[in-house]
């Protein structure tokens, strides 16, 4: 279901100078998390109009804290409308991923983002908003009131890499989960077409907005550190989230059951590392695990899903 329309590319008449421009690089999950930062910004600057620049407009639709949202590749006249000759403009474009606090894992990313621009953080959480038709479409055409176990086993940061050892759920563990719960629930697998499938699952075929609503409609959720776990937090849907080398205290939420791998780094693989130990895309040469290393205990995941 296509529901998004790009902003009008004509030069609009802007009658105010009070803008905060927030440029957000990165993926869908980072944009969802950023909705908490933007809410904190709006609380501190209630009379300013927030304008978002992003690659992922889907995370911002109907957000009441946002005046305008533009994608990087469709923002004609942006400078003229929102920056040129404006007397009261703030520009928040520094990437929090590049800060010492993030690289050294000193705090949660939302708080890091707020501190970077002297914004008071009062526990704001991510948010997603929908219209009635979006919800009805998913209920009538995708979820159909069936009990659903929703799986996201792979991230989407690198289309050239089908599996990231650094954060993707090992397929052997994921298949055990499927085999355990098949027959009791519909199991829908969120993945790209080129990423490895699981037996006895349905591949999710909708767009991002439909996925967000489906997370809200699902009964059980097993995710990794990627877009789905951020969306689940925004929708107040507790989920089981598996972590290999990303840290839930930096990128996760206490709402979720966060299962952190206790596998040791047995190989010295840091020769290829720069500011951070491991590349999220799963640089093969950085993998510190010996052959046969068990990253997760299946029984722990199973029991966590049973009590959802």
**Neighbour-count burial of 269, counting CB atoms closer than 10 A to its CB (0-12 exposed, 13-18 middle, 19+ buried):** middle
pLDDT value at position 255?
98
Q: Which residue is it, tokens 């967000």?
A: 212
Per DSSP, the chain holds a count of helices (H) and strands (E) of 10, 10
- Identify the pLDDT of residue 15: 60
The helix/strand/coil state of 205 is coil
SS3 content of the chain, % helix, strand, coil (to 5): 30, 15, 50
Residue in the structure block whose two tokens are 């979820």: 143
- Model confidence over 185-224: pLDDT tens digits? 999 999 999 999 999 999 999 999 999 999 999 999 999 9
How much is the pLDDT for 7?
Answer: 46
Q: Could you tell me which CATH number the domain at 132-306 has?
A: 3.40.50.2000
pTM: 0.93
- In this prediction, the residues of the chain whose per-residue pLDDT falls under 70 are 1-15, 157-159
Q: CATH topology for 18-116?
A: Rossmann fold (3.40.50)
202 by DSSP, 3-state: which? strand
What per-residue confidence (pLDDT) applies to 156? 77
Q: Which residues contact 70 (CB under 8 A, 6 or more apart)?
A: 7, 51, 52, 53, 54, 57, 78
The ranges of the chain annotated as CATH 3.40.50.2000 are 18-116, 132-306
State the pLDDT at residue 157.
63
How many whole angstroms separate alpha carbon 112 and alpha carbon 131? 31
User: Closest Cα partner for 189 from 174, 177, 201, 207?
Assistant: 201
């Amino acid at each position: 279901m296509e529901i998004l329309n790009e902003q009008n590319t004509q030069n609009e008449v802007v009658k105010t100078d009070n803008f905060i421009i927030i440029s957000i690089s990165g993926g869908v999950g980072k944009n969802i998390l950023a909705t908490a930062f933007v809410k904190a910004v709006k609380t501190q600057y209630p009379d300013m109009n927030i304008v978002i620049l992003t690659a992922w407009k889907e995370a911002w639709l109907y957000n009441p804290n946002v005046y305008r949202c533009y994608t990087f590749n469709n923002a004609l006249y942006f400078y003229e409308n929102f920056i040129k000759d404006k007397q009261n403009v703030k520009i928040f474009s520094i990437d929090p991923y590049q800060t010492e606090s993030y690289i050294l894992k000193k705090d949660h990313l939302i708080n890091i983002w707020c501190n970077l621009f002297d914004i008071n953080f009062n526990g704001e959480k991510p948010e997603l908003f929908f219209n009635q038709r979006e919800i009805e479409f998913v209920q009538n055409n995708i979820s159909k009131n069936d009990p659903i176990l929703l799986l996201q086993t792979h991230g989407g940061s690198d289309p050239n890499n089908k599996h990231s050892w650094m954060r993707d759920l090992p397929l052997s563990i994921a298949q055990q989960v499927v085999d355990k719960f098949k027959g009791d629930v519909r199991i829908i697998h969120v993945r790209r077409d080129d990423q490895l499938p699981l037996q006895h699952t349905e591949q999710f075929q909708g767009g991002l907005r439909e996925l967000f609503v489906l997370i809200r409609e699902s009964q059980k959720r097993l995710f990794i550190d990627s877009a789905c776990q951020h969306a689940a937090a925004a929708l107040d849907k507790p989920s089981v989230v598996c972590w290999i080398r990303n840290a839930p205290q930096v990128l996760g939420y206490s709402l979720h059951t966060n299962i952190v791998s206790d596998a040791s780094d047995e190989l010295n693989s840091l020769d290829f590392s720069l500011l951070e130990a491991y590349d999220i895309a799963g640089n093969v040469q950085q993998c510190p695990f010996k052959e046969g290393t068990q990253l997760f205990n299946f029984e722990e995941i199973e029991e966590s899903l049973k009590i959802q």
